[in-house]
Amino acid sequence: MILNHAIGVRFPVAVPHMDISELKQSILPKTFYLQNTFICLKDSLGKILVHEEGKNTTAGRIVEVEAYIGGEDKGSHTYLNKKTPRTTIQFEEGGYAYIYTVHTHHLFTFVTQPKDIPSVVLIRAVEPIYGIEIMKERRGMEDIKSLTNGPGKLCKAMNITKELYGQDLTSPDFKLYIVDDGFQVNDKDIVKTARVGIDYAEEYKDVPWRYYIKDNPFISRK
DNA sequence: TGGATGATGGCCT
DNA sequence: GGCCATCATCCAA
């Protein structure tokens, strides 16, 4: 099923007949996640993040992402390929969930590339497209534009917690995954900027590894 | 075991 | 713009 809406054109959001079981036919496969991180970064824009929880199922279109590259990247938890209990999953092959906490919030990333190349894509914002009422309830607000326009916000709205750390996003048995509904994001509609909140990263502070969909109302900041 | 820190967000001025 | 809640994580000791 192709959602009959266009990003940035529709608002308020409404997808009354979206069928999750149909979307599940189009889960991104392992081969997607094994690709170079910057391919994953670019191609994850416009895909749909789904957390299946029965009547509390939520989904959102990915509109803002960042790359964190192990080894060289001083902004990464795996700078110098540092392996700790927290970062262990980054060293597995692509397709697993790397979820961590910062202050009181959870942040969701997915692991990319083959085993022992610890790199991830952080989902910084999604556009709510399913389960909007439960998102409002979890976030304690009515303002649709603020439900998921930040990495901590979207995890709260979609009930993504550390219990999902290490989950295989490519298994149909699991309840957290990303699907491709055929929505295309044109290259000219991708804005590339410095990443957010990594002032400590020295020469990696300003690398343009944050991608977002131009003019989308749900990005975390300009 | 304790201190420092944070890939944030909400509230304030 | 600033302030800070609040706790998992890491590392020095």
pTM of the predicted protein model: 0.94
Q: Is the pLDDT of residue A9 over 60?
A: no
Closest nucleotide (C1' vs CA) to A77 is B7
Q: What b/e string do you get for A188-199 counting C-beta neighbours within 10 Å, with b at 16 or more?
A: ebbbebebeebe
Nucleotides of B under 7 A from a protein CB: 5-10
Residues 6+ apart with CB under 8 A from A74: A200, A201, A202, A203, A204, A205
Q: Is the CB of A101 under 7 A from strand C?
A: yes
What's the CA–C1' distance between A101 and C5, in Å?
14
Contacts of A131 (CB under 8 A, 6+ apart): A56, A57, A58, A59, A158
pLDDT over 80 at A220, yes or no: yes
Q: In the predicted model, is pLDDT for residue A71 greater than 60? A: yes
Nucleotide nearest to A148 (CA to C1'): B9
Query: In angstroms, how far is C9 C1' from A8 CA?
Result: 38
**Model confidence pLDDT, tens digit, residues A131-166:** 999 999 999 999 999 999 999 999 999 999 999 999
> Model confidence over A12-33: pLDDT tens digits?
444 546 777 888 889 999 999 9
pLDDT given at position A17:
60
